[in-house]
Amino acid sequence: MASGRANPVTAVGTPERRQAVLLAMLLIVLLAFTARLVWVQLVQGPGLAAAAQAARSYTYTDHAARGAILDSNGTVLATSVQTYRVVADLTAIPAYQPRDADGEITGYGAAAAARDLAAMLDRDRNRLGAELVGEDRYHIVAREVTPEVWQEIAALNIPGISAEQTAERSYPNGSTAGQIVGWVNDEGDGAAGLESTLNSRLLGTDGEFTVEIGVTGQVIPTGQNASAPAVPGCDVHLTIDSDLNWFAQRTIDETVDTYGADWGAVVVVDVETGELLALADSDAVDPRDPGASRYAGSNAVQSVYDPGSTGKVLTVLSALEEGVVTPTTAVDDPYRLTTDNGQTFSDHSEHPDQVLTVTGVLAESANTGTVNIGTLMSDETRYEYMQRLGWGSETGVGLPGETAGLLPHYEDWDGRQRYTTMFGQGLSVNLLQNTGVFSTIANDGVRMPMSIVDGYDCADGYEEVDPGEPVRVVSQDSSEQMIRMLESVVSDSGTGERAAIDGYRIAGKTGTAQIPDGSGGISDVAASFVGIAPADDPRIAVGVVVYRPDSGFFGGTIAAPVFQDVTSFALQSLGVPPSSEPADPYPLQPDGQ
């Protein structure tokens, strides 16, 4: 009789069937894993790999070295000293576990790192420890670290601690030419002087490099590396001689202190090239501590003064060039002179009415005689010569803050200013402009553009600076006559005898200009002397001004000795031989006087 229960084999399936089901399920799982693997490897793989690499990579700036500033002999006036910026990946520092000589762990993480770094960086240990905790992957720990200190830090092998090469500006010659060089600010950008005006030349171009960093904070040697090298800034080569500049600064400082002046300045110009060999100011700024000086800029460039009797040279030179006088033309020189419009002028010392040659007028610095020469020309003519000789316009030497001076148009001169401009008052110049007049005379009447930068030594080669085209202002004959006339000023009979230098013929002019005293009067003075050396074969022009002395007063008393000292030093430094022929002065008085 048949049973009602199902066959067990039929209900569950045969063993072969069960194996087939399990195999199918296994294949499905394998296919799923394979699909996922294909998806991850082929579809998501590049993106994941790139993300992982990005997480491991860091790009550092390769800071370009700032160019140096050097004098004409290659002496370094400003340079960049290699330093390091110590940085930290704070996420890696917890892995730090330093050990002692026996292999025992002496600390962990940020606390141990702060303990080991604090003394090296001169930091408070507790504050540094708190600073080394966090998630920041780029944290600046210290700046301007010396190479020696960084080597000590690197030897600790602290995970996450690395360094970037930087530079600290150094001024090895201190205040020598400080007003010329200037200084940089905390960000390394030029803040004054040539550091400022030539900042783009000195800066260079930063580069960058990218590295992969492992979990311990160390660079992965086999990781991806990429770099774009930095291009260093140009080295700037100046025309000045730092030794001469130092001597000029010392000399003018002593004079300003001796006579209680507000300030003083000295300029030395190579007459053949227009290059500045020295530009010195009293109380010169030290770029290492610019706040300690009263003056940040250069008074020789930025400040103006009435040229006084040195301005008589322009009046006489213009008259020579116009042919209205010669060096021996007789000129009336009364002690006191009243012009047709009622203006009264007098010479600096009382004397009987006299007649002098044009040379004698310059030698005795006669105001009334100069007025009599100046009235032989129109105001327009005299004004044009002032402009052509550089008054009323910047020299373009390239130093910041240069003044163009104050040269009112001749149509704006009042009844008195028309005459005062003949002897250097009623207008103002800077020392560069005034010295430039004498440099032009010394260069046979050709005005050379002034320059203080010789060239730039850059990554792609040396680039010379073109200062501009020379311009003939007056004839060679007029210039030679003027130099011979100015030699009389430095003779025993002239006002500039204290500028004389043994063995050398010197031509020059004293200046003592009345200037405002701050109380509504004009009792203060600007004492000056500008000269040419040697007079028989001109090489340099030297200008000196001492502003508002409280004693001494006269240019021949105060400024001429500074000229003598600085010019003597310059001639020796340049190897200029003494004059071989004696002076042949023009007479100071007409024949028969």
In which region does residue 222 sit, left (phi positive, over 0), alpha (psi from -120 to 50) or beta (all else)? alpha
Structure-token pair, residue 496: 């500039």
Strands 69-70 and 235-238: parallel
Give the chain's end-to-end CA distance (angstroms, integer). Answer: 178
CA–CA–CA angle 437, 497, 283 (5° rounding) = 65
Q: Are 465 and 274 in contact (CB under 8 A)?
A: no
Domains, the chain, in order of start with CATH, read 61-238 (3.90.1310.10), 242-286+299-574 (3.40.710.10)
DSSP labels, 324-356: S--TT-EEEE-SEEE-TTS-EEE-SS----EEE
What would the pLDDT profile of 359-412 be if each residue is shown by its tens digit? 999 999 999 999 999 999 999 999 999 999 999 999 999 999 999 999 999 999
State both tokens at 359: 């040379």
Assess contact for 179 and 279: CB atoms under 8 A. yes
Cα 301 to the chain's mean position, in Å?
12
Structure tokens at 224: 């991806």
d(CA 472, CA 479): 11
CA torsion 571-577-583-584 (nearest 10°) is -120
- Beta strands (DSSP E) in 171-249 are 207-212, 226-228, 235-238
pLDDT in tens, the chain (593 residues): 455 555 555 545 677 777 777 777 878 877 777 777 666 666 665 665 556 555 556 666 777 889 999 999 999 999 998 888 899 999 999 999 999 989 999 999 999 999 999 999 999 999 999 999 999 999 999 988 988 999 999 999 999 999 887 778 999 999 999 999 999 998 889 999 999 999 999 998 888 767 666 655 555 555 555 567 889 999 999 999 999 999 999 999 999 999 999 999 999 999 999 999 999 999 999 999 988 887 778 999 999 999 999 999 999 999 999 999 999 999 999 999 999 999 999 998 999 999 999 999 999 999 999 999 999 999 999 999 999 999 999 999 999 999 999 999 999 999 999 999 999 999 999 999 999 999 999 999 999 999 999 999 999 999 999 989 999 999 999 999 999 999 999 999 899 999 999 999 999 999 999 888 777 777 799 999 999 999 999 999 999 999 999 987 899 999 999 999 999 999 999 999 999 999 999 999 998 56
